[in-house]
Structure 1
Amino acid sequence: MQAVVVERFGGPEVLTVQDLPAPTPGPGEIVVRTSAIGVNFKDIYEREGRAAKPTPFIPGSEAAGRVLSVGPDTSDFAPGDRVAFWSAPGSYAEQVRLPARAAVPVPDDVSDEEAAALLLQGLTAHYLITSTYSAAEGETALVHAAAGGLGQLLTRLLSRRGVRVFGTVSTQEKAVAAKAAGVHDVVVVNDDTNVGSSLQDLVRGRGVDVVYDGVGRTTFEASLKVLRPRGTYVLVGAASGPVDPISPQDLAAHGSLFLTRPTLVDHATERSELLDRAHELFTWLRRGDVEPSIGGRYRLADAATAHTALQLRRSTGKLLLFPERSESRPEPAPSAAPTSRR
């Protein structure tokens, strides 16, 4: 079995493909033969050593494929079943062993590629707009990295609720993608941009009801200032680095703000909750409420190229890896054109 291995922390160059023994499922476990593997910023944090994960390890946590074998005391799945998962360490591999309770069934009308591109970010978008802050018609939201996989999903769902969405992106090309997803007003923010004044110009002096921020350090302080009194700041990631410490008094000074740093693991603690969220997510997919935007397809051996594209913010949408034996045809280019279900 081939897998990508990190033997030392560092840049994308530390991702090496190795031949490893095939895994065997234990009690309550399954082994999945992967066909499409999701790439996420979390994988970069792990590769760099920011996740306190000991080396060597196989990165990744998200993929879709077919059950290859099941262990004792496993009744939820059988060999040949199509499944997807978002929380199984070591997904950058041709075969992945995981607890059966961590996998969700993939409906017949959803492709492996769609499931791998949608599950983690789709479930995240689901809890963000249903559990963290349920934005309503007539409200306003600021979505950072609005052209990314999560950003586009959030934008589509918020827009369908009648929420006016403001968005930030890093390039003019991404501004087009953000607009297509439903962003009403967008601004390009990069290292040369005065983020504070750009955000004030973007929202035209009106405080927004909620901020969804996956960028972190470079957008945090300025975003607090564009929230309305009693607005909600949702920190969902740190692509630009962790935010600086903040005093609770600062939240009072900005207008009695709410600040939260939620994670998906705390919103799918029970299997029933995971399955309910996944079921509704796939229903949204059928209705066209969500649409996975695939911004690049790479061979498993080209994981380093995918990491570079994601880390340098060259990509628009979700990046996927494909094992060599996959029937899909990955494109080795650093950033392929986004594709959609329709």
Structure 2
Amino acid sequence: MLTLNDLHRQNLILLEAVSGSRAYGLATPESDTDIKGVFYLPRSLYYGLGYIPQISNETNDIVYYELGRFVELLLQSNPNTLELLASPTDCVRHRSPLMDAFKPAWFVSQACRQSFAGYALGQIKKARGLNKKIVNPMPSEKKTVLDFCHIVQGAGTVALQTWLDANGLTQRHAGLVNVPHARNLFALFYDADGSRGYHGIMQKNSANNLALSSIPAGEKPLAYLSFNQDGYSSYCREYASYQTWQAERNETRYRNTAAHGQGYDAKNMMHTFRLLETARDIAQYGEIRVRRDNRDELLAIKNGAFGYDALLARAEALMAEIEALFDQNPCGLPEQPDRMQAETALVSVRGQLYGV
């Protein structure tokens, strides 16, 4: 298995550059140093069965793309690889002359509208979801199906537990049967001494459905129960999502979010605006501008200087500007990257590397 150390020891690196916040001009004393690069495989791995498309460390702070995979991602208008190809000169640690075969202009196209601006829009939606989790934390104890049950009373309903408490009843002694032609509506029967063997409304707290019972002929229902099954299913999805977020969240960024009190992941929001501004540059100037010239403004977003709603409104206005620029297409951007030129260059470079 090829490792990061092998890339350096065997001189397999074609391009290596500092990426991330240091390339964007947004680094602070706390910033890590991210590295991205391009490598080629030893002949035995490339021609054999050991093809490796990418090598990275555990945290993905260091990522190298195999040459063919790099070109493939460029043709998909992938922001990471486009920014790597357009790395500022002071960020480039090593660049083989072979990399001059790949011209950045071949890969700048209308497709960047989706890969940059569309991705940023997805991050805005993600920020909305995070805001909901932060502002409306969910209790650790999961609700049960009983919390989504109501008893029909006249033209309205009352919560099941409220009704049980008011009448001195327990759900374990109840029995339910479906009401024909009425979705999630049940006739509720009650057996005070438990002699009829009713199964209750819920057999265990982890149940995802109501329990049904066999009711003797001639019994009269005590009440009618409505179960909001769709609401319960939606709640279960939100609860699972919240628990996953709690388990996997970056604690440092979460504490920073809590500290500035704005209710959003400020670092993620900063990069959202960076992506949107890069998309605007592509539409307006026809090139990838990695280094941002509004460092103070972007760092202010990272520090939580702006309210959540104000930032969302600003992002939506910027998105509208980007859409208009791509529609006007002042630079004459092609619809897609130039695949023919890129593939010709790839074949030529591979020939020089492997002597064919």
Name the TM-score, length of structure 1 as normaliser: 0.27
By percentage of residues, which structure has more strand? Answer: 1
Q: Name the larger-Rg structure.
A: 2
By percentage of residues, which structure has more helix? Answer: 2
Name the TM-score, length of structure 2 as normaliser: 0.26
**Whose RCO is larger (CA < 8 A, sep 6+)?**
2
